[in-house]
């Protein structure tokens, strides 16, 4: 499962309190989050601190989840260590969305408060670092990790909160369909299903769950949300090009003979599956049974991507789908 960036608006006046979330946009059971938001923004921040909105991507295979845990490697723990090395003092990372062990993130968002202290004159507070400097410095200390990096940094007001200002959260699930063994390159990146799936029926079933519903049967017994009601904005299933994708010799020759530019094949892959083309031994969009692919050429799987998007989810709500 892969999580993508929870949308948030970083523009916030330093002297204004954040406006309350519209009643029409709130879901039942969100009152507790509003109370927590009040507590979070009412706490005055120490003068000299700069709050940054930080976007991070990571491969979750070697992480024991995102939240900090004693004696376990976590996303928050690694980020806090990198910031500590950068500014010379401990910081607290606040994530917008938590992820379980093994879950990857295309862009998870967090905020962090940083005070820039002079190294030549201890105790002297200097002007805040530029966001580009923060990104470069933190990524320098994350290099040895090899599976996490900062993709964007912005300065925000002291009242901005990564969790409570998140407008929506999106999760992607990749399914690779076919009897062939999963490629080494896809290990821990997708769920392998050996049997054929009925894509049309899956798409029809998704429509039933979209909207405002009581998701009691979809949440874990340990869920602490006051209400089981949530609004699922999107739940869809699409067939996409399986990755990693490298054009076969047939496709390269066709591309050359047609006189197409160097970016034409890439653009076709972005807009849809190449029809009737064989890439790495897989006939895209069709069956490849009985095809003599040649020695060392493996058949590719069909790839389905399930997308779930909502302002918030219940504990383990997606797992129970």
What residues are annotated to the active site? 100
* CA 46/CA 113 separation, integer angstroms: 9
Q: Parallel, antiparallel, or unpaired: how do β-strands 168-177 and 2-7 relate?
A: antiparallel
Q: Under a CB-based contact definition with an 8 Å cutoff, are residues 134 and 52 in contact?
A: yes
* CA 57/CA 99 separation, integer angstroms: 12
* CA 154/CA 160 separation, integer angstroms: 11
Give the count of beta carbons closer than 10 Å to the beta carbon of residue 301.
22
Q: Where are the beta strands (DSSP E) in 15-93?
A: 49-58
* CA 109/CA 66 separation, integer angstroms: 11
Helix (H, G, I), strand (E, B) or coil at 19: coil
Segment holding 48, helix H or strand E: none
Report residue 221: phi and psi, to 5°. -65, -25
Q: Under a CB-based contact definition with an 8 Å cutoff, are residues 298 and 280 in contact?
A: yes
Alpha helices in the chain (DSSP H): 31-42, 75-87, 131-142, 199-209, 249-257, 264-271
* CA 95/CA 223 separation, integer angstroms: 19
Give the contacts of 271 (CB within 8 A, at least 6 positions apart): none
């Amino acid at each position: 499962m892969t999580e993508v960036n929870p949308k948030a608006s970083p523009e916030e006046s330093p002297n204004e309190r954040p406006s309350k979330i519209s009643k029409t946009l709130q879901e039942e059971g969100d009152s507790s989050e509003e109370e927590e938001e009040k507590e979070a923004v009412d706490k005055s921040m120490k003068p000299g601190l700069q709050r940054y909105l930080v976007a991070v991507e990571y491969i979750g295979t070697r992480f024991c989840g995102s939240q900090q845990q004693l004696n376990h490697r976590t996303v928050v723990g690694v980020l806090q260590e990198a910031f500590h090395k950068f500014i010379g003092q401990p910081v607290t990372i606040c994530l917008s969305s938590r992820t379980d062990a093994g879950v990857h993130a295309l862009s998870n968002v967090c905020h962090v408060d940083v005070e820039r202290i002079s190294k030549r004159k201890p105790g002297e507070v200097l002007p805040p670092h530029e966001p580009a400097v923060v990104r470069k410095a933190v990524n320098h200390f994350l290099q040895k990790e090899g599976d996490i990096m900062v993709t964007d940094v912005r300065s925000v007001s002291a009242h901005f909160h990564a969790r409570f200002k998140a407008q929506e959260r999106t999760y992607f699930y990749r399914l690779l369909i076919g009897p062939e063994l999963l490629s080494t390159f896809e290990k821990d990146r997708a769920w392998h299903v050996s049997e054929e799936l009925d894509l049309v029926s899956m798409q029809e079933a998704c429509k039933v769950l979209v909207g405002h519903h009581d998701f009691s049967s979809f949440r874990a017994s340990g869920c602490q949300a006051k209400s089981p009601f949530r609004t699922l904005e999107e739940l869809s299933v699409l067939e996409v090009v399986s990755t990693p994708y490298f054009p076969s010799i047939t496709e390269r020759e066709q591309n050359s003979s047609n006189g197409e530019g160097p970016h034409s094949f890439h653009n076709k892959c972005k807009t849809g599956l190449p029809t009737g083309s064989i890439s790495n031994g897989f006939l895209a969009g069709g069956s490849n049974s009985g095809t003599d692919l040649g020695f060392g050429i493996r058949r590719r799987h069909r790839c389905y991507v399930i997308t779930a998007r909502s302002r918030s989810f219940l504990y383990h709500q997606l797992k129970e789908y």
